[in-house]
Chains A and B, each alone.
Chain A
Amino acid sequence: MTNLILMVGVFVTSFVIGYLLISRVPTLLHTPLMSMTNAISAVTILGALVLFSQPTNTPEKIMGSLAIITATFNVVGGFVITDRMLRLFKGKHTESNNT
């Protein structure tokens, strides 16, 4: 029971802190934000890793590997795309009259 309370507590606290911080993100950055949080949501890779902490049978191994592949795809893809997007944003200071 204490376990449940702890887990719900962690969930609620993270949700609230995340909510407060993210509501201050400007519209300008909403696409990179979603792309980054999308990469974070592949944190399920930790779950997939835990699966492999015990001996696995073949179906478990297949499903576990698939989970790791999809999650890593998500993590790496998400962070790389976000970085590519953020590099595109240029402020006034980088303005150059390149004629």
Chain B
Amino acid sequence: MALFFDISVICILILGIRNFRQPCGARIGNTMAAFALLCAFVLVLYRHGVVDVGTVIIALLAGAMIGYVAARAVNMIQIPSMVAFQHGAGGVAAFLVSFVELTRDAYHLDVVSEISGVLGLTIGSLTFSASIIASAKLANKMRQAPHILPAHRTLVLLGIAAIFAVGALSFYVPNEILGYVYLIQIVLSAILGILFAVRVGGADMPVLISFLNATAGLAAALCGMVIGNQLLIAFGATVAASGSILTHVMCKAMNRNLLSVFLPPIKPQNEATKRGSSGGVFFAQPVSKEISVVETEDAFAAAADILKQAHSIIIIPGYGMALAKAQFKIVELAKLLSKNGASVKYAIHPVAGRMPGHMHVILAEAEVEYGDLLEMDAVNPLFKGTDVALVVGACDVVNPAAIQSDGTPISGMPILTVHDAEQIIVCNLDKNPGYSGVANPLYENNKAIMLLGDAKASAEVLIESFVTMKGQDNDEPNHPIRNRPLSHGRR
């Protein structure tokens, strides 16, 4: 009978996840998953009972309130930071539960539970510290660039060795000092988490955050093994599966393997000099800016002209667009363009944004229909027949060097083949290379018009000139778009 209930609850969860195959069913799926968790909660409550009801209720209310308030307060750009923080919270819960179970029942627990407990401690604590670092980096509370400490690689390997040693030691020490050994284990794991998280830079965050998703699930499953609760194990394993898939997808989209993201290169200094001295296309040096005001104005006029003539336009948004909070203006421009008779689509690279699928959410917030968001594989063949590719705040994901030259840090990374379009308009802050440090030959392409500066301001200029031009041509006095409230959707 007990098994029947467990399986029913797991089935509700699975059905919920199954609903995530389509955007229209996903909301119901989310509610079903929440319901499954509630059922599991009630089942455990019913089976085990609670001695200290007051404390539990207060803790539940406190957590729920903080969670609700925080969830209502974040905007879509902050989502990755918030999700990372929540991974951290999951990690804390996992290592606390493992710790209490281990120290309380050390003599009752069998070996399996003890091993799971020690692993739960380690992975929970590691998830916690790494998530906090990831969250701080994503919220810009910390410098986003990779921090590489002296002998970083050795430190990480030493940390892993120490964790194994202390973990093994915990099976041989007397019960009186066992608690302290576990504490050391928690601290060591936390340090290891920090060590590998500080190494990860801004654009690699999607990998880290997906990986932490997987470890948070694994920590939960291990927690379930300590107390022998099948529901916990099943739920945790599902999350671990999800995190693993996303990690794999992200690594593939960046043509990197997990180790190269987390571990620094073996000889970082050499790597840096090699990059600088070898020259060629990927000379990692800022391109000097020599753009006069007149030229810039000309560029804007030319760009507006091209956009007006275009029948098919593909917009390529990058994280730079989100940073400049330009998405609402870009969408406004896109609506103007489609009213002008052009077909406007968005091409989204899998690693645009700071977590898997982040750009989709940012554009959804700006009221773009998801049917207009095209994935890389679907959109790349379309660039050949496209009049204008409008790049907004993206660099590495449209860098032809990735597929045209060998030996650059991004060689082999799949890109959006923007260079196939008839015309290219680039609204980037400057001509500097993106996160990878590889200069973008696209900027020197004679099909490309560079609109340098803040993407939001550039979009405003384009909208302005577009509206004026349209007014002159069609004698259309009212411009509904101009009178619309601008920044909607920000809560």
Contact = CB atoms under 8 A, between A and B. Distances in A.
A46 B140 CA distance: 34
Nearest to B92: A70
Interface residues of A, number: 85
Contact of B364 (A19, A51, A81, A89): A89
A53 B37 CA distance: 19
Given A15-B240, A44-B223, A86-B23, A77 B90 contact: no
Given A37-B243, A72-B67, A76-B64, A42 B23 contact: no
Interface residues of B, number: 114
B486 interface: no
A2 B161 CA distance: 31
Given A22-B17, A86-B26, A43 B232 contact: yes
Contacts of A56: 51-52
A50 B23 contact: no
B241 A41 contact: no
B26 A29 contact: yes
Contact of A37 (B50, B219, B228, B239): B239
Given A11-B221, A14-B234, A53-B48, A83 B96 contact: no
B297 interface: no
Contact of A77 (B86, B97, B489): B86
Contacts of A54: 51
A63 B23 contact: no
Interface in A1-25: 3-4, 6-7, 10-19, 21-25
B92 A66 contact: yes
B232 A46 contact: yes
Given A40-B235, A43-B236, A70-B90, A89 B63 contact: no
B156 interface: no
Chain B interface mostly: helix
Contact of A28 (B18, B23, B246): B23
Contacts of A16: 241
Contacts of A32: 20, 26, 30, 357, 361
B209 A37 contact: no
B63 A76 contact: yes
B83 interface: yes
Contact of B21 (A12, A25, A75): A25
Contact of A52 (B14, B27, B52): B52
29 contacts: A7-B112, A11-B236, A15-B241, A18-B238, A21-B20, A22-B242, A27-B350, A27-B357, A34-B242, A34-B243, A34-B355, A34-B357, A36-B30, A37-B239, A41-B90, A44-B93, A46-B232, A47-B227, A48-B96, A50-B229, A68-B59, A69-B63, A70-B93, A75-B64, A76-B63, A77-B71, A80-B68, A88-B361, A90-B370
